[in-house]
Amino acid sequence: MGRSKRKPKKLKVSIDKNNGSDLKKNIDILSRLSFPVSTNTGQFESEDDTDDEETIEFDFRPRKTYLSNTCLVCSHISNPKLVCKNCFMVSYCTEDHRSQDAALHQDFCRALAENCQEKCDGIDDRKNTPSPEEYRILRVNLIKVTEIFLNRYLELWEKEVILYPRVCFKCHSFGKNKGASLQCCSDCKVVFWCQEHRDDHSEWCLQYQLFHKLILAQATHGNVDPGIPNVYFMAPKLSQFNFDTVASMISGNDSDRFINMDFYNYTTLSHMASVPLTALYALQESYSSWKSTDNIVLHLIGAEFQYEGINLRVWEKLFLHFLPNLKTLRVIITGPELILPQLVPRDILSHVKLCRLCKLRDRKIDVSFVPETLYHDFCYSPNYKKPDLTCLFNAGLYRTTGFRGQDTWPQTIFELCKSKVPILVTAYTEREIPMDIERIKGVCSDLEIVLAPQKNPYASLKPDRNFVSDESVPLIYKNYYLSIVRVAG
């Protein structure tokens, strides 16, 4: 994190008068896998800064991520002959990297060897193949016993060693001779299979290729800033577009930038854009007066700082600039797991730098954080302001074991329904979204469906592994499905 000053640059204005009829040709994310990764794209954003206002830049370094076929040190493809001979769970690309990691891996290795071998004994026997739910319970229990063995909490990548081990993706077999008979897909380089399940992987292979390349790009280049130029629109109706077309639109006159954007920057852009664009899409579906409103209040509920709490300037680029009559946007971000960085003043965290044109028009974005707070408690706070739209991004309302193992959603849902404003709900999978809506119906009987559960045209394109239902949907995307409801009357 640091302070920076940027030199005044030329202001770019591109008004959408034809409602997108001249959009550039869309390029699918998978087609971008062959493009070289660029780490200089953030310069496009700086072109629109026209003053010397100081800004705060957060540099969140990508965390270490475990993939069963990549080197634990550098994330490049590992050598099949350099699998750890004690735990058989991690691997390396060279002898140098194995030696380099030996001391760091020692304690964790011993814990894996003693606990995993004991708990997984017999899993290679086809008669003992666990059901998907039994396999999930097994992995969760392995994490618990490993933490007890080490007398500490596991880091996220260490949990991934247990959650996503070097086993057949279908039957969870470790293979004979501790993995020697398992084969790794030569295309995606992520998924292992045994001899019996070689042909069952094709449906997800392309998405796994993207996932693997993202992990490698993240380890090689760190985080990237795709940069969003200031482009102003005459209130486009988002239901007529999707993320690909909007990405083309916000490239303005610089069509080459959109056409040549690599997969890493493009998925990052979609990840940043998904929250404001999904919220704007929901607002347009919920109100006929969305074009003329000059003041909007949004509540983001059950938020996490490293998703909803950073990259706040997207609210100007991809919300305020899409509504020319909007004067003030208030975004209140709350949640019991919303943990703010220490030693950084709240007003600095919530500050959103605006472009020169928005300042000249006296437009404002007011972001407020309500950390470590349940929403139904916040509703009785003096800082509560009734929203125009409440947003629950990937909240998992259907789960009854939520924050600290307690089910606090009924109280929150009750307050949401009492306000009688539209409720936007997003989910990772097609299975989850109707369950979330049924959970709301269980509290509010007089519920009106504004938008039935469906795929979200503004979902994140950044894949992640799925633990909850990995037998059917091994990779998930934030905000992939959505629905909008409200209390009737």
Does the pLDDT of residue 57 top 80, yes or no? no
Does the pLDDT of residue 122 top 80, yes or no? no
Does the pLDDT of residue 372 top 60, yes or no? yes
Task: Write down the architecture of domain 8-26+35-50+229-487 according to CATH.
Answer: 3-Layer(aba) Sandwich (3.40)
What's the confidence (pLDDT) of residue 191? Answer: 93
Backbone angles phi, psi at 334, to 5 degrees: -140, 160
Query: 446 vs 390, which has greater pLDDT?
Result: 390
Does the pLDDT of residue 253 top 90, yes or no? no
Q: Which burial class, exposed, middle or buried, applies to 365 when counting CB atoms under 10 A from its CB (0-12, 13-18, 19+)?
A: buried
Query: From its phi and psi, is residue 19 left (phi > 0), alpha (psi between -120 and 50) or beta?
Result: left
Does the pLDDT of residue 343 top 50, yes or no? yes
Which residues are bridge partners to 451 per DSSP?
484
Mean pLDDT value of segment 443-462: 96
Find, among 297, 239, 228, 324, the residue nearest to 268 by Cα: 228
What's the confidence (pLDDT) of residue 118? Answer: 63
Band of residue 409 on the pLDDT scale cut at 50, 70, 90 = very high
Query: 121 vs 435, which has greater pLDDT?
Result: 435
Query: 351 vs 53, which has greater pLDDT?
Result: 351
Give the C-alpha separation, 76 to 73, whole Å.
8
What's the confidence (pLDDT) of residue 127? Answer: 59
Does the pLDDT of residue 44 top 70, yes or no? no
What's the confidence (pLDDT) of residue 318? Answer: 97
Give the C-alpha separation, 129 to 144, whole Å.
22
What's the confidence (pLDDT) of residue 389? Answer: 98
Does the pLDDT of residue 30 top 60, yes or no? yes
Helix 243-250 and helix 263-286: axis angle, to 10°?
110
Query: 426 vs 135, which has greater pLDDT?
Result: 426
What's the confidence (pLDDT) of residue 369? Answer: 97
Sequence spans of domains, the chain: 8-26+35-50+229-487, 80-220
Band of residue 179 on the pLDDT scale cut at 50, 70, 90 = very low
Query: 262 vs 54, which has greater pLDDT?
Result: 262
The one-letter code for the residue type at 410 is P
Band of residue 7 on the pLDDT scale cut at 50, 70, 90 = very low
